[in-house]
A and B are shown apart, each in its own frame.
Chain A
Amino acid sequence: GAVVSQHPSWVICKSGTSVKIECRSLDFQATTMFWYRQFPKQSLMLMATSNEGSKATYEQGVEKDKFLINHASLTLSTLTVTSAHPEDSSFYICSARDKSGYGYTFGSGTRLTVV
C-alpha cells in the first residue's frame, strides 16, 4: 500500500535554530500534502496544505514565515520550523493525498522538542 516516510521521528533542538522535517511518498505521487500539528491529547490541527509546484495555503493563525513548506516534487514535501522556540514543541504529522483523491496516507510523525 501507499507509504509516506517522515523523518526525523524525533528531534531536539536549541531555541533559535531551524529544523527541517521531510515527508516522502515512497510508492505513489502525492498531489497534495497536508501538514498537521498535534498537541498532547488533542486532535490534529491543520497547519497548511501544499500542492506540488505551488505555494502552500496556510490556515488562519499559522505563521507562514515561521513554518516554511516546500513541495518541490510529487514525492517530497518539507516543513521547516525557523527560529524555533519552546512553544513550537509539538508532534508534527504530514499526510499525502494520492491522485485518486480518496486516499490519505500519513507519515509516522515527528516529535519536536525545543530547549
Chain B
Amino acid sequence: AQSVTQLDSQVPVFEEAPVELRCNYSSSVSVYLFWYVQYPNQGLQLLLKYLSGSTLVKGINGFEAEFNKSQTSFHLRKPSVHISDTAEYFCAVSAPMDSNYQLIWGAGTKLIIKP
C-alpha cells in the first residue's frame, strides 16, 4: 500500500520569494507522482506529474518538482511566487500495478502569500 505525507499544513511566504512544498511518499512498488492545485470552491487542476524519465519535472504556472527515489520525495518548488498562487496544494501517488489506478492523497498544504 502507498501513503503520502505532506509535512506542512500551511506555508506562508512573501510575494516574489521562492517556495518549496514538501511531499514524501512510501511504497513498495514504483509509483507515479502528481501535484494538484485547488483554488477555493473549485476542483483540482494538475500542476505536474512524474511518470518516468527525467527526475526534474516542469509544470504549469512556473512550478517544478524533483523526484528523489532515495529520499522518496517529490517536493514542489517555485522560484518566485505571486499572490495568485494562494491555494491548497495536494501531492498524490498512484501505483501502475493498481488495476484501478487509484490516487492516494496527501493532506494538502495551504500556500499563503503575504504581500
Contacts and interface: CB of A to CB of B under 8 A. Distances in A.
Nearest to B103: A104
Q: How many B residues touch the partner, as a band?
A: 20 to 34
A20 to B, nearest CB: 18
Contacts of A43: 90, 105-108
A102 B49 contact: yes
Contact of B102 (A4, A34, A51, A91): A34
Contacts, number: 49
Interface string A13-41: 00000000000000000001010000001
B44 interface: yes
B42 interface: yes
A60 interface: no
Interface residues of A, number: 25
* Interface of A (DSSP majority class): strand
A79 B90 CA distance: 24
B92 to A, nearest CB: 8
A108 B43 contact: yes
Contacts of B102: 34, 46, 49
Given A6-B43, A41-B110, 11 more contacts: A32-B100, A43-B108, A44-B105, A46-B102, A49-B100, A49-B102, A51-B100, A93-B43, A101-B96, A104-B46, A104-B103
Interface of B: 32, 34, 36, 41-46, 49, 51, 90, 96, 100-103, 105-108, 110
